[in-house]
Amino acid sequence: MQRENKEKLGLLLGLVGVICFSLTLPATSIAVEYFGTTIVGLGRTVVAAVLIAIIFIVRKEKLPSLRQFKSLIIVAVGAVLGFPLLTSWAMESLPVSHGAVELALLPLATAGFAMLRAGEIPSRKFWISSIIGSLAVIIYALYLGFGQLQFADLALLAAVIILGLSYAEGGRLSKELGSWQVIAWAIMIGAPFFIIPVGMNFTVDMLQAPVQAWISFIYLAIISQFLAYVAWYGGMAMGGIARVSQLQYLQPFLMILFATLFLDESITFFTIIAAGIVVLSVITGKNAPVLRKEIS
């Protein structure tokens, strides 16, 4: 009974994490209009680092080893630098529902990098699913871009790839360093390098930004950048990685829902169909058999 309750709590925490992540693009879309790409993309890390520093001091966390530090750099480049910056730039010109469809490829990218990092060979079924999902995203982007991919589309696809690698590396490292500690240390590594560009791009006029812009930015800094990871990693640790990770298939549809509720975006039937095709391809690809390299 205790184990069953633990699994249920894990699923609940995982769902909380997914909901929090699903609000990231809508919050970014609101905040970037008033604060710009650099403040929203990098400034959130600086703010999150203050909270994490307090937690580390209270908990007296030990420093990671040199080998762990090298892996944390990969996590930081993806989850702390690349993804926030690229999505902030993309959300200046793309609707959130558009971004939701493209980011739906993230679980597949993560699974692919996880296999490669573990020395495994993705099967033909995995690659076919990846191609179908990627083609669905490209066709969708071309359709909305009147026959051509926008630079913002390329930014989102790059964000998917770089965060997929970061997630895979973080998942591997969390087994020895601890779940939420991985993103926490990655934030602490990146934050010092972001202070100068954030300071240079901050203006007094930004203090006059409306309340919703400040709420969005604080949400990105405290929830999206840190606490959502705590819930997500904690949920997988309690409920099982395989079981809880299935919840992320809800994410693109939740993003589309939130875009409708908070940003009054009109969602087309084509958007729903495209998201459905991508999610189905992701489910198929993640469940595809894996060929393992034989060590002679």
Bridge partners of residue 122, in order along the sequence: 290
Determine how many CB atoms are found less than 10 A away from the CB of residue 12.
15
Number of domains in the chain: 1
pLDDT band at 129 (very low <50, low <70, confident <90, very high): confident
- Residue 76, pLDDT score: 93
183 burial (CB, 10 Å; 0-12 / 13-18 / 19+) is: buried
| pLDDT tens digits, one per residue of 63-112 | 999 999 999 999 999 999 999 999 999 998 888 888 888 888 887 787 78
Q: Is residue 153 situated within a structural domain? A: yes
Determine how many CB atoms are found less than 10 A away from the CB of residue 269.
7
Q: Is residue 181 situated within a structural domain? A: yes
Q: How far apart are CA 163 and CA 173, in angstroms?
A: 15
- Residue 40, pLDDT score: 95
- Residue 4, pLDDT score: 74
Q: Is residue 204 situated within a structural domain? A: yes
Q: How far apart are CA 90 and CA 208, in angstroms?
A: 24
Q: Is residue 256 situated within a structural domain? A: yes
Radius of gyration of the chain (CA): 19
Mean pLDDT of 283-288: 72
Q: Is residue 296 situated within a structural domain? A: no
Q: Is residue 217 situated within a structural domain? A: yes
| pLDDT tens digits, one per residue of 202-244 | 999 999 999 999 999 999 999 999 999 888 888 877 877 656 7
Q: Is residue 272 situated within a structural domain? A: yes
Residue 295: is its pLDDT beyond 70?
A: no
Which residues form the domain of 100? 2-291
Residues in contact with 266: Cβ distance below 8 Å, sequence separation at least 6, in sequence order: 260
- Residue 296, pLDDT score: 41
Q: Is residue 93 situated within a structural domain? A: yes
Q: Best-predicted range by mean pLDDT among 16-25, 169-178, 255-264?
A: 16-25
